[in-house]
Structure 1
Amino acid sequence: MQQPEISVIISTYNSEEWLEKVMWSYEAQTYKDFEMVIADDGSKQPTFDLIERMKSEVSYPIVHVWHEDNGFQKSQILNKAIVACNADYILMSDGDCMAREDYVEVHINEREEGYFLSGGYFMLPMSISKLITKEDILSQRCFNVKWLKSHGLKSSFKNNKLTAKGVTSQFLNTVTPTNASWNGHNASGWKKDIVAINGFDERMQYGGQDRELGERLFNYGLKSKQIRYSAVCLHLDHPRGYKTQDSIDKNLAIRATTKKENKKWTDFGIKKD
């Protein structure tokens, strides 16, 4: 296989229903020269079965990176997935985020040396998340605000994320007050930059490990570019059983140290001492 232009890392854990929808959304991409690297934090057999079946049903190559289930160890499995990426450029998203057809293309077109790209997501309620079918994804109607409203989506300024195009999306990217941080559901950067800061800090469990990676990229000298109104993904709803105050507090302390000491490197990343 020749080297793809971009590796798309998708993180997952025992959520085949959502992962399948996400995988179909990548089959609909306008830009085709990518591989999918699934960062699997210890899923059971049904996820393996799904991935095996999808390998024969989609046109893009799939690399499945898995380790034993040892609680919430997303940072560890993401580091293994980074190493497994065959492309020089890496896009990271989650197994609950369906990508609009131009998603990978936007990341490819906007990439730039010395930068990483920061996108957002559009949150769907559980009722709509459940009813979306493979046909809704391949036809792209599930990204259409009228279609979503006909299935119960409320009116909101946030709906602009789905309707903004061209100049409007560029304008909204510029004026949005949201920081262009590294977001685990929608961010991309050069593999060499991510490896140069030693990837994710594996001490960090749920809450902010993506932001901390971005903070070290800034300390390393990178800038970030806001693309939240151009690179659109739909976030499928789910409960968050792994979210604990302890892990959030611990992670905030690690991030405070990263900031205070201007850290570029973590000793708890891809390379271990």
Structure 2
Amino acid sequence: MESLTKPNHPETSVIMTTFRSPKYLFQVLWGFANQTYRDFEIVVGEDGQTDETREVIDVFRNKSNLSIQYVTQEHEGFGKTRILNRAIDSAHGDYLIFTDGDCVPHATFVETHLQSATHGRFLSGGCFRLDRDVTDQILDQKLELDQFTNMRWLKNHGHRVSSKWLWVVRHPAIARFLDVATTTRPTFNGHNSSAWKDDIVYANGFNLEMRYGGLDRELGERLENAGVLGMQIRHRAICYHLEHERGYVTKEDWQRNHNIRKLVRRRGLTRAEQGLEQIRTSAA
């Protein structure tokens, strides 16, 4: 991929959350330590502080070029929207890239987001899901970063990779065409999206009434209601999702979130009633 060409790129913060998963976080931070573009800070938000997570962050602070903020809160049940808003409030960047503590970025991840950053838009990136077997090998540090973030290597070692991704690897320039041509609607995905901080603040951040299942997309729907439209970069900006259990998913939460999102779309809501501003107020 071509190098970053925008001379006046914005100050950038990468925001991610983690929950008692230090081995996953280690691999994610290792991915960010090996980016083609490195002038950014990372804000790690943890719902409930753990010594193991702090130790991983300290390793990267001391042995890499990463600038890392560590933001925590007391664990009181599902708290992802709260810790995301705390991380947003702590971020120094004018431009925010969102990912998760279980998603390892491709080497050009940050560079691609900044190349495509456009006022009046949020960006919707892609995710390649790794299976349990390869995830276990990664967590046990039996695979190198440049192996499992390489589609061709994965295919050659028996992992399922669609022909589309192999075609993109062989012909990188086609990724932009696929992003324009795809009929898949761009959505705000917590594992791989970016937006201007001013737009996120205007929307009042993440909705504290949301539980797991669509909390990120609900933010994107409010952004779109405010005129900040999604732009697809799913074939250009890739992260590799490490497999894990999802025991926290409930039908009740999904239905609650569905109803909230339906209301946001029907009424054209642009701001969360309970969000970033309320986090700031409670911390005062």
CA change 1:59–1:165 in 2 (3 A) is: farther
Amino acid at match of 1:190: W
How many Å apart are 1:156 and its aligned residue?
2.1
Unaligned runs of 5+ in 2: 1-9
Amino acid at match of 1:58: S
Equivalent pairs, count: 269
How many Å apart are 1:59 and its aligned residue?
0.5
Q: Which residue matches 2:243?
A: 237
State the distance in 1 between where 2:89 and 2:219 align.
16
Unaligned runs of 5+ in 1: none
How many Å apart are 1:160 and its aligned residue?
4.2
State the distance in 1 between where 2:170 and 2:80 align.
32
State the distance in 2 between where 1:134 and 1:92 align.
27
How many Å apart are 1:72 and its aligned residue?
1.7
Q: For 2:144, which of 132, 136, 139 is the aligned residue?
A: 136
> Is it true that 1:258 corresponds to 2:264 in the alignment?
yes
Amino acid at match of 1:183: N
Q: Which residue matches 2:42?
A: 36
Alpha carbons 1:122, 1:158 under 8 Å: kept: no
Map residues 104-253 of structure 1 onto 2, 5 A cutoff. 104-132=110-138, 133=141, 136-137=144-145, 140-157=146-163, 159-160=165-166, 163=169, 165-253=171-259
Q: TM-score under structure 1 normalisation?
A: 0.93
Alpha carbons 1:145, 1:162 under 8 Å: kept: no
> Is it true that 1:48 corresponds to 2:54 in the alignment?
yes
How many Å apart are 1:51 and its aligned residue?
1.4
How many Å apart are 1:44 and its aligned residue?
2.3
* Alpha-carbon displacement from aligned partner over 1:14-63 (angstroms, at most 9, x marks no partner): 01111100000001101011000001122422112221222112211000
State the distance in 2 between where 1:161 and 1:81 align.
37
Amino acid at match of 1:17: K
Alpha carbons 1:24, 1:134 under 8 Å: kept: no
* Alpha-carbon displacement from aligned partner over 1:106-133 (angstroms, at most 9, x marks no partner): 0011001111100120000011112133
State the distance in 2 between where 1:130 and 1:111 align.
34
- Give the % identical residues: 40
> What is the SS of the residue equivalent to 1:121?
strand
State the distance in 2 between where 1:161 and 1:110 align.
22
Q: For 2:33, which of 27, 31, 40 is the aligned residue?
A: 27
Amino acid at match of 1:136: E
Q: For 2:63, which of 43, 57, 60 is the aligned residue?
A: 57
State the distance in 2 between where 1:185 and 1:112 align.
19
Alpha carbons 2:124, 2:231 under 8 Å: kept: yes
Amino acid at match of 1:118: S
Q: Which residue matches 1:271?
A: 277
The worse-fitting range, judged by mean Cα deviation, of 79-88 and 152-161 is 152-161
* Alpha-carbon displacement from aligned partner over 1:64-106 (angstroms, at most 9, x marks no partner): 0111111221111000000001010000000111001100000
> What is the SS of the residue equivalent to 2:17?
strand
State the distance in 2 between where 1:13 and 1:39 align.
9
Amino acid at match of 1:80: R
Alpha carbons 1:215, 1:258 under 8 Å: kept: yes
Q: Which residue matches 1:75?
A: 81
How many Å apart are 1:266 and its aligned residue?
1.0
Alpha carbons 1:100, 1:232 under 8 Å: kept: yes
CA change 1:161–1:177 in 2 (3 A) is: farther
CA change 1:186–1:161 in 2 (3 A) is: farther
